[in-house]
């Protein structure tokens, strides 16, 4: 049985080899999430937020309404996408941050792409002189890099933001805890990965409740993601790079939670 901190590790992206993850019914205390109607055109003043997900857009707009700036809203929306769009966003991945300062006309960028673990060698994806097939390499501990997204958020907020990390993560944490309504895209992406997901206990527990992808229109919750965001809000970005959570990531990469009876060779 894993230690308590291991339950704080959220899904690290598509096909993530994450530790214990949970999907559960919505608590009456939070009410039932409802699908947010999308509008092709919106008119307003004071700022705008655009993402691929209505919940993430809503969270970003709430930050602006409370007086936050564009950087604050961007981090808040990105954190929410880590909950609702785990196949393309999340704290276990990386990316780039572009900031335009209208007052000076200057553009600043942050390179937050993942980096290879320190011990990785140049031939990590080669066996007997032949490249490991992509499908095998990606479904393994070999393809897990050191996340860059959390550090990117921290740097952006420190340099150009006006709110704390705790405030920036608040909306996303609520979405993870309260849940969001599964749409067709989420269902399709989960179904496309169902074969791989079923081979790992923690991944299947989260994404395949009852052995099937969550149905369109149902509510999907990730309580461990909420707990992870709570931890980052309390202890800061370093909580994902040092201490029990970091060790748990390493342990999972080196000893993936392969389901009983799986014949796939899962490399570490």
Report, as an integer, the average pLDDT of 60-81: 97
Residue 225 neighbours by CB under 8 Å, 6+ apart: 10, 11, 21, 82, 83, 176
What tokens appear for 256 in the block? 């993936």
* H or E element that contains 108: strand 106-112
* Residue 146 to residue 12: CA distance in whole angstroms: 11
Between 13-17, 205-209, 241-245, the lowest mean confidence (pLDDT) is in 13-17
Residue 241 neighbours by CB under 8 Å, 6+ apart: 146, 150, 151
The model's pLDDT over 233-261, given as tens digits with 9 standing for 90+, comes to: 999 999 999 988 888 889 999 999 999 99
- Is the pLDDT score of 23 beyond 70? no
Band the pLDDT of 32: cuts 50, 70, 90.
low
Domain limits of the chain?
A: 12-32+49-254
* H or E element that contains 219: strand 219-220
Band the pLDDT of 45: cuts 50, 70, 90.
confident
Residue 200 neighbours by CB under 8 Å, 6+ apart: 17, 256, 257, 258, 259
- Is the pLDDT score of 21 beyond 80? no
The SS3 call for residue 57 is helix
Please give the pLDDT value at position 33: 72
**Cα distances (angstroms) measured from residue 51 to each of 26, 48, 89, 98:** 25, 10, 12, 15
Entry pTM: 0.85
Return the higher-pLDDT residue of 246 and 105. 105
Angle value at C-alpha 188, between 183 and 193, nearest 5 degrees:
130
Report, as an integer, the average pLDDT of 212-223: 97
């Amino acid at each position: 049985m894993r230690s308590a901190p291991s339950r704080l590790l959220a899904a690290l992206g598509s096909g993530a080899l994450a530790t214990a993850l949970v999907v559960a019914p919505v608590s009456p205390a939070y009410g039932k999430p409802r699908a947010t109607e999308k509008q092709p055109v919106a008119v307003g003043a004071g700022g705008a937020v655009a993402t691929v997900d209505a919940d993430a857009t809503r969270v970003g707009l709430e930050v602006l309404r409370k007086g936050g700036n564009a950087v604050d809203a961007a981090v808040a929306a990105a954190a929410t996408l880590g909950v609702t769009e785990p196949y393309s966003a999340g704290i276990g991945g990386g990316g780039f941050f572009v900031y335009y300062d209208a007052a000076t006309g200057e553009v600043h960028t942050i390179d937050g792409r993942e980096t290879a673990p320190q011990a990785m060698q140049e031939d990590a994806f080669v066996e007997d002189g032949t490249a490991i097939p992509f499908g095998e390499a990606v479904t393994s501990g070999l393809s897990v890099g050191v996340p860059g997204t959390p550090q990117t958020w921290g740097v952006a907020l420190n340099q150009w933001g006006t709110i704390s990390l705790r405030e920036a993560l608040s909306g996303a944490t609520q979405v993870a805890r309260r849940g969001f309504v599964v749409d067709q895209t989420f269902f399709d992406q989960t179904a496309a990965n169902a074969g791989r997901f079923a081979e790992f206990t923690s991944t299947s527990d989260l994404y395949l409740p009852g052995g099937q992808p969550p149905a369109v229109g149902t509510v999907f919750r990730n309580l461990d993601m909420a707990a992870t965001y709570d931890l980052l809000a309390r202890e800061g970005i370093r909580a994902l790079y040092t201490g029990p959570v970091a060790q748990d990531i390493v342990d999972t990469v080196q000893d993936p939670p392969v389901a009983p009876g799986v014949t796939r060779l899962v490399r570490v």
